[in-house]
Amino acid sequence: MYHDVPVLDCHGHVTVPQAANSFLVMMLGSNTAMPSPVGQSAAGPAGVTVEDFRAAAAGHARYMDDRNIDVQIIGPRPFLTMGWMEPHLVPAWTRYVNDMIHQQCTFFPDRFLGACALPQLSDAPDIAHCIDELNRCVTEYGFVAAYASPDPAGRRTTPGMHEPYWFPLYERCQELDIPIIVHGTNSLDPRYRVVPHNYQLGFLTEQYLAGQFLSHGDVFERFPDLRVIICHCGGALDRFIPTDHHLAQKDLSRNLFYDTCGYDLTFLEAAIRQRGVGRMVFGTEAPGSGRAVRPETGRTCDDLVPVIGDFGFLSEDDKKKIFNENPARVVPGLAKIGR
């Protein structure tokens, strides 16, 4: 809570026992797609039980409690979306991930809402191959958003997010009235190898490019009710003033949004000032990559409620919009349980 207002977090990822990911190793090692074991027996991959999954989810909920987060949308772990592996394995892995997301939501239905992974193939003619899984997750599981990677194969071979390749996804998400959450995944650029956890560089570049392409293209003219959230404040900030012709001179306030998952305080403040309060939705990725401890507070970086709460340039009304009103507006599913 923030001053008796529920805090709604648009950026979270599924938490599972580490052994649950052995399912991926089995598929890669055997080069064989396998049916999702979630819900099929008492023990899943590597003997992981339902109670093991429940304990992992409970730890996630406690982590949120300690950071004043009431409800969180959880999606796939982006660096484990595995869009670069053999194409016949991607749908089976994606289905398993979505089953685990749904399972975590059922354990704590008042704390978690699902956002589906998509079995994206960069070299497909378009993204229509993902629509069946999207429909399954929304209609059967009640998921409230869809994750999309701008470049799942990690080789910059996927069409830009303004191109017709993406239109089937945009059309269906507009029909379903759910937002798309844009998050980078892996990067296989060999130059990145010197950087540990170099997928983070892929997050930055691909999320920033996605915002540029969506801004300058005609996606929102074609799909005027489509809503897109770009994670990590958009990856990078613009260096031009708002009236500069290098920026798209459009009103994107109904369509293009950014989350607050930026841990450096200077960067986060600049992002909110540049994007504007009306286009910022609260997001933390807690628990995730924000576990480094701020020396001045002794708290982890993803403890963002007090950080934003202390920003003097924001009014109390601004803060309530970021924590609650904007997420509920952009993600209607959040409004149903987050008031």
* Confidence (pLDDT) at 336: 81
Please report the pLDDT score of residue 72 as a whole number.
98
- What are the residues whose beta carbons fall under 8 Å from the beta carbon of 44, sequence distance 6 or more? 20, 23, 37, 38, 53
List of E strands, 126-255: 145-148, 180-182, 228-230
The range of the structural domain enclosing residue 43 comes to 8-337
pTM: 0.96
| Edge-to-edge strands, sheet with 71-75 | 8-13, 71-75, 112-116, 145-148, 180-182, 228-230, 256-259, 280-281
Band of residue 46 on the pLDDT scale cut at 50, 70, 90: low
Give the separation between CA 46 and CA 19, rounded to whole angstroms: 6
According to the model, what pLDDT value does residue 44 have? Answer: 60
Q: Pick from 231, 301, 60, 334: which is nearest to 323 by CA?
A: 334
Residue 191: band (very low, low, confident or very high) from pLDDT cuts 50, 70, 90: very high
- Provide the number of structural domains found in the chain: 1
Identify whether 1 is part of a domain. no
DSSP conformational letter for 217: S
pLDDT tens, residue by residue, 110-122 = 999 999 999 999 9
Work out whether strand 145-148 and strand 112-116 pair parallel, antiparallel, or are unpaired: parallel
Q: Which domain CATH number covers 237?
A: 3.20.20.140
In a domain, 3, yes or no: no
According to the model, what pLDDT value does residue 258 have? 98
Q: Distance between CA 123 and CA 185 in Å, rounded?
A: 16
- Supply the DSSP symbol for 36: -
On whether residue 179 sits in a domain, the answer given is yes
Q: Is residue 169 part of a domain?
A: yes
Reported in sequence order, the residue ranges of 125-164 that DSSP labels E, i.e. its strands, are 145-148
Query: Quick one: DSSP state of residue 108?
Result: S
Residue-wise over 12-42: b if at least 16 C-beta within 10 A, else e?
bbbbbbeebbbbbeebeeeeeebebbbeeee
Q: Terminal CA-to-CA distance of the chain, rounded, Å?
A: 11
Residue 2 domain flag? no
Which tens digits make up the pLDDT trace of 53-112?
Answer: 999 999 999 999 999 999 999 999 999 999 999 999 999 999 999 999 999 999 999 999
Residue 126 and residue 131: Cα distance in Å, rounded? Answer: 11
